[in-house]
Structure 1
Amino acid sequence: MKILLLGQHGQVSQELQRALQGAGKLTVLGREQLDLAQPELIRQHVQRLRPELIINAAAHTAVDQAESEPELAFTINATAPGILAEVAAELGAPLIHYSTDYVFDGSQAAPYRESDSTNPLSVYGRSKLAGEQAIQAVGGMHLILRTSWVYSQHGKNFLLTMQRLLQERESLSVVDDQIGAPTWAGTIAQATVQLIKHWRSGHAGPWGLYHLSAQDETSWFGFASAIAAHLRNQGKRVATLQPIPSSAYPTPAQRPLNSRLDCSRLQQDWQVQLPTWQAALEQCLARS
């Protein structure tokens, strides 16, 4: 099987490259080979490769930066996925695309289902929602996988930032009123491979939109506390953690207070079992 993976150095892409070894002939295109900020190039590149499966792990993910460059965010996160969906449909190939909990405003008390109303608070969230809608407008075989609070041992993310700051500082304040599920990029990659196997073996569920995040929930403060506990278990001295409300840590982009995603539909339709965030964090940290 010829698989085209867009995105090369991102967290999810790095884990996908590991998880997809042996799954087929994998072609990885990073920004240097195909810049999604130049959507006019996408169609000819993908048509030339003629993949049997397209996975789009490329995105504009700098949430705060997107507030000052909305046009770029929408080009990469909305226009490009729409074109990818068109080419995938022309080739008869499925498209797997990743989206975000930030399509919601976080005002709901319960975890969000796929059918719940969206209301993004940020440019990033609006651009990712527009990408979902562009893919859905094309139709065809597609999986849009909304995830949350992605971290890994690669790039820039909360885990790596906390590991550094906890060892550099005496005390550290972390937001405690945003609730969600930290999701290891490895969990996303492993679940994606399961989905591909089900499709290839003729046991695919319905195509469409699904939620894919780790199970259980915590706050950013709770996540930081778990990271601190791991460092302490290694005999390292760590900063004292202080919980604070979001109002005490203003950012250019507003974040939803409730980022919890109900992932039961993915498990029911595609038989994909997702780990708790605690178990996945242990797995991630054991690899370092």
Structure 2
Amino acid sequence: MTGPAILVAGGHGLLGTELARVASSAGVLLVRASSAELDVTDPVSVASGVRRFTEAARAGNRPAVVVNAAADTATDAAESRPDPAYRVNAEGPVNLGMACLDHGIPLIHISSDYVFDGRARVPYEPYHPPNPLNVYGKSKVAGERALLDLGAPAWIVRTSWLFSAQGGNFLTTMARLERERAEITVVDDQTGSPTWVRDLASGLLALAGRVTADDPPAGSRVLHYANAGQTTWHGLAHAVFDALGADPSRVRPCTSEEFARPARRPSYSVLSPRAWCEAGLPPPPPWRSALTAALAANGPGEVVDQERTFLSR
């Protein structure tokens, strides 16, 4: 049997794009499905898409696995409009889980550090009880719990503070503001683990290989992946300016209260990758070296959409 075939729901977002790039470099067959091709909020769309994908994968003698990168991440908007968040983040994983259960294939579902309330002062382990502060976090917890209750062959991977040198994210925003403003102000009382999306994508491909090779991680179905170490948003912005050769003193600290937003954020959401590493999966690099690598990456790289017939048959 050849290597796995991977279907990515929400495949044209930051993570889906990076998964395609890493898979292409590694020679892994991966299909990115847009929301128009596979709408995670629509059980019929999900059932049809997963069925076609699974049939095509098996016809090619490949084990199939689905990665759910679809998410409604509009954290502040969700406070006043919770329905979209719950449809995508809570109902979506269940729809995918049911389809994967029907076809006997594994699902890897991506979740968030915002499932925690930030009261801890040591890195969160997968067994720590969630207690989200905002609607977005509550919708992610609802999706996690419903998926686990379903009994599907699913693994939940929580991650945090994703950044990339391409697309809309904190790193590209800081790089733009460095060019446009003499000074910027960034909150300095929220601590987390910045994570390069390329490192996460590489880790997920390793996990996909394990769960399709009858060698899944033992123990908990919930894992944490974040680059090693911790900092604040101000500390990350400071590091970005420094890496760009700009004066980091141009980044001024402020409190969350001074930079008030509709949704509360946890003051501490560092994720421990201990369970991930104990499962024999590749350990996440330190966030500072990941930041350097992200900025040194040569352009957006090639993204290849492979075997589109998996969804169009």
TM band (smaller chain): over 0.9
Deviation at 1:157, TM superposition (A): 1.0
Other-structure match for 2:226? 213
* Structure 2 alignment gaps of length 5 or more: 58-63, 300-313
2:105 aligned with 1:93: yes
Partners of 2:12 and 2:53 in 1: how far apart? 21
Q: Offset at 1:239?
A: 7.2
Deviation at 1:85, TM superposition (A): 0.7
Q: Which residue of 2 aligns with 1:195?
A: 207
Alignment partner for residue 33 of structure 2, among 25, 29, 37? 29
Q: How many residues align?
A: 285
Letter in 1 for 2:293: Q
Give the distance between the partners of 2:47 and 2:212, measured in 1 at CA: 25
| Percent identity between the two aligned chains | 37
Counterpart residue number, 1:2: 5
Q: How far did 1:69 drift?
A: 1.9
Which residue number in structure 1 is paired with residue 310 of structure 2?
none
Q: Which amino acid aligns with 2:280?
A: W
CA distance in 1 between counterparts of 2:6 and 2:251 reads: 44
Residues 200 and 40 of structure 1: is their aligned pair in 2 closer, same or farther, counting only changes over 3 Å?
closer
What's the offset of the Cα at 1:115?
Answer: 1.1
What's the CA shift for 1:32? 2.4
Scaled by the length of structure 1, the TM-score of the pair is 0.93
Task: Give the Cα separation in 1 of the matches to 2:215 and 2:41.
Answer: 35
Task: Map 1:1-288; keep pairs closer than 5 Å.
Answer: 1-21=4-24, 23-50=27-54, 52-206=64-218, 208-232=221-245, 240-287=250-297, 288=299
Task: Supply the distance in 1 between the matched residues of 2:74 and 2:165 (Cα, whole angstroms).
Answer: 17
Instruction: Describe the SS at the equivalent of 1:267.
Output: helix
> Which stretches in structure 1 are left out of the alignment for 5+ residues?
none
Q: Is the 8 A contact 2:160 2:192 kept in 1?
A: yes
Q: TM-score, normalised by structure 2?
A: 0.86
Q: Is the 8 A contact 1:231 1:238 kept in 2?
A: no
Distance in 2, matches of 1:27 and 1:241, equals: 40
Counterpart-to-counterpart distance in 2, 1:95 and 1:260: 25
Following the alignment from structure 2 to structure 1, what is the Cα–Cα distance between the partners of residues 247 and 185?
A: 17
Hey, what's the Cα distance between the residues in 2 that align with 1:223 and 1:25?
34
- What is the alpha-carbon distance in structure 2 between the residues aligned to residue 69 and residue 37 of structure 1? 16
| Aligned-partner residue type, residue 248 of structure 1 | E
Counterparts in 2 of 1:238 and 1:180: CA distance versus 1, 3 Å: closer
Q: Distance in 2 between matches of 1:269 and 1:3?
A: 21
Q: Could you tell me whether the CA contact under 8 Å between 1:66 and 1:124 is conserved in 2?
A: yes
Q: Distance in 2 between matches of 1:39 and 1:20?
A: 27
- Paired letter, 2:38: L
Q: CA deviation at 1:39?
A: 4.0
Could you tell me how far 1:134 is from its partner in structure 2? 1.5
Shifted more, 193-202 versus 251-260: the winner is 193-202
- Distance apart, 1:194 and its partner CA: 1.6
How many angstroms does 1:38 deviate by? 3.3
Deviations 1:8-47 (CA, angstroms, capped at 9, x unpaired): 3211111100122255442221122223343442222222
Amino acid aligned to 2:261:
T
2:41, 2:95 within 8 Å by CA — same for their partners in 1?
Answer: no
3-state SS in 2 of match to 1:246: coil
Q: Residues 236-258 of structure 1, C-alpha deviation per residue, up to 9 Å, x if partnerless? A: 57771111111110011110000
